Amino acid sequence: MWLYSLLELDLKSLVLFLFAYLLITDFLKQRKPSGFPPGPRGLPFVGSVFSLDPKLPHIYLTRLAEVFGNVYSIRLGREKMVCVVGYETVKEALVTQADCFVSRPPSSLAERIYSGNGLFLSSGILWKKQRRFALSTLRNFGMGKTSLESFIIEESRFLQEEIECEKGNPFNPHILLNKAVSNIICILVFGRRFDYADHEFETLLKLLAEILYLEGTIWALLYESFPKVMKVLPGPHNRIFGNYDRLSDFLVEDLKRRNAERDPSGPRDYIDSFLAEMEKNAEDPALGFHQKNLILCALDLFLAGTETTSTTLRWALLFMIKYPHIQSKVQDEIDRVIGPSRPPSMTDRASMPYTNAVVHEVQRKGNILPLGVPHMADRDTSLGGYFIPKGTPLIVNLHSVLFDEKEWHMPDIFDPERFLDSNGNFAKKDAFLPFSAGKRVCLGEQLARAELFLFLTCFLQKFSFSPPPGVEPSLEPEGGGTMAPIPFKICAHPR
Ligand code: HEM
């Protein structure tokens, strides 16, 4: 009996000792260097993770600035990070100190999927080389040119036919918009568009949407914080990896198919161009021209080029049915400048300040990436008077820029007029940063801007949109990787 009690005591002491040891190491690891930004005192091991609303984390992260100032620190999971709030501070970090915050912080999820490859989460020479290559290749195949405009106009015709099939009945535009927008990046990357009924295309889009959704949930945050434990635990986070594998399989098949028919002297798309570069740079793997990176970069473009723009267009339709007088003003401008049948072009934008202002206000208020993508300090530096050591992850709070009260009058109101001067001309605003800023500014900004203007103009040229009878549209956002509106239905009436 006494032996049992002694063993029990020993076990208890061991557990207590272990706990105390972990607590002390955790405390020592989280000690802030002198001059480091202040921040909330979180719980041991997890920090402030549980204070965040997993659906709208940017709200809490913006409010904290009222207590700690526009540069503050916060521990989320294992890592302590610095959060940058408000236009002036974000500009200081991303533009004034552009070279100091170029890299991405290490991430357990990214490490398992990308191992330092890809466009979004890579850093250093590989990122630099791949970003430059992606930009110039997408431009070669139409980004920023009239050839891209014709793809978008053609795609909006397919979309128009689908919408006409609804015959004015309520329908959810989500999947249709996803398919139309995705087809534009597919033309640039894979050299082809997919039919809307294509089963493979539907599967790819579903896998992609689920990845984005899961990456914005507490499961992804838990994986980041406790990768060793989460790796062996069942749960929805495992579908992120499973989905990436299935998307990669699709690309491997595409590569096999195209190897048989490819003419190396005449690349047809991003993938052909990448294969040509692989042949040229075979001896220098550090530049990233190898098959694994080809797959991950192509997936990044597919992923980034689909959900973001499609979600913004969903917000656009929602704002149009919520504020029919704004929809009518856009239609008046379309009728005046383009007329009922000529397809719109990007040159029309200069003569359509109101439509341009609406697109900007949709992006500002839609606020689809409220916390952008994390950056990391590449060297010891200072920000807002605080010391930021090399390797510190930086959360760039884009929500706080797009809703900064110093920059925008009544930022919570949807008001396109804020982008017009007193003569009705379009007025650029410095704090309009939905694509972020600096060296890692969105690579697809030009493409997204063309898609948003042309798709929206084509829709409103051909249809008037309204909510289903008796329904009041809700502007509530839904959680997830991109902040999307909660699912809604619209009715499209041919004009
Ligand atoms: C409305 C649509 C879009 C919005 C609001 C948006 C926004 C953003 C933001 C906020 C970032 C992070 C920038 C940073 O790290 O500071 C980003 C990065 C990126 N975007 Fe977009 N994006 C959009 C559309 C697109 C499209 C159509 C593409 C396709 C080419 C694309 C490709 C990328 C890529 C590859 C990156 C990573 C750039 C890098 O790390 O160097 N985006 N985007």
pLDDT in tens, 166-215: 999 999 999 999 999 999 999 999 999 999 999 999 999 999 989 988 88
> Residue of the nearest CA to atom 7 in ligand 1?
435
CA neighbor of 143 nearest in space, from 451, 424, 386: 451
3-state class (DSSP) for residue 5: helix
**What integer is the mean pLDDT of 374-390?**
96
pLDDT at 6: 58
**What integer is the mean pLDDT of 7-24?**
71
**What integer is the mean pLDDT of 256-282?**
87
Element (H, E) at 490: none
Cβ–ligand 1 contact at 308 (below 6 Å): yes
> Residue of the nearest CA to atom 40 in ligand 1?
120
Cβ–ligand 1 contact at 483 (below 6 Å): no
> Residue of the nearest CA to atom 17 in ligand 1?
442
pLDDT at 213: 85
Among 237-246, 466-475, 478-487, which is the least confidently predicted range?
478-487
Per the CB < 8 A criterion, the answer to whether 87 and 430 are in contact is: yes
| More confident site: 36 or 261 | 36
Dist. CA 302–CA 152, nearest whole Å: 16
Termini Cα distance of the chain? 89
Cβ–ligand 1 contact at 131 (below 6 Å): yes
Cβ–ligand 1 contact at 368 (below 6 Å): yes
pLDDT at 266: 85
Q: Which atom of ligand 1 is nearest to the CA of 131?
A: 41
CA of 130 to the centre of ligand 1 (A): 14
CA neighbor of 322 nearest in space, from 216, 465, 215, 432: 465
CA of 467 to the centre of ligand 1 (A): 31
pLDDT, tens digit (0-9, with 9 covering 90-100), for 101-116: 999 999 999 999 999 9
CA of 304 to the centre of ligand 1 (A): 6
> Residue of the nearest CA to atom 43 in ligand 1?
442
The b-or-e profile of 296-334 (16+ CB within 10 A means b, else e) is: bbbbbbbbbbbbbbbbbbbbbbbbbbbbeebbebbbebb
Cβ–ligand 1 contact at 312 (below 6 Å): yes
Which residues touch 414 (CB under 8 Å, ≥6 apart)?
319, 322, 323, 326, 361, 365, 475
pLDDT, tens digit (0-9, with 9 covering 90-100), for 19-63: 677 767 766 667 778 899 999 987 777 777 777 777 788 999 999
CA of 119 to the centre of ligand 1 (A): 10
> Residue of the nearest CA to atom 42 in ligand 1?
444
Q: Where are the domains of the chain?
A: 50-494
CA of 435 to the centre of ligand 1 (A): 6
CA of 419 to the centre of ligand 1 (A): 22
**What integer is the mean pLDDT of 278-296?**
89
CATH superfamily of 50-494: Cytochrome P450 (1.10.630.10)
Q: Are strands 79-84 and 393-396 parallel, antiparallel or unpaired?
A: parallel
CA of 181 to the centre of ligand 1 (A): 14
Cβ–ligand 1 contact at 401 (below 6 Å): no
> Residue of the nearest CA to atom 25 in ligand 1?
444
Beta bridge partners of 75: 80
Question: Residue 243 — very low, low, confident or very high, per pLDDT cuts 50/70/90?
Answer: very high
Cβ–ligand 1 contact at 301 (below 6 Å): yes
Q: Which atom of ligand 1 is nearest to the CA of 375?
A: 15
Residue recorded with tokens 């015709």: 157
> Residue of the nearest CA to atom 31 in ligand 1?
444
pLDDT at 147: 79
Question: Residue 428 — very low, low, confident or very high, per pLDDT cuts 50/70/90?
Answer: very high
pLDDT at 4: 64
Question: Residue 249 — very low, low, confident or very high, per pLDDT cuts 50/70/90?
Answer: very high
Ligand 1 mutation pick, 308, 368, 442, 443, max ligand atoms within 8 A of CB:
442
**What integer is the mean pLDDT of 144-153?**
85
Question: Residue 87 — very low, low, confident or very high, per pLDDT cuts 50/70/90?
Answer: very high
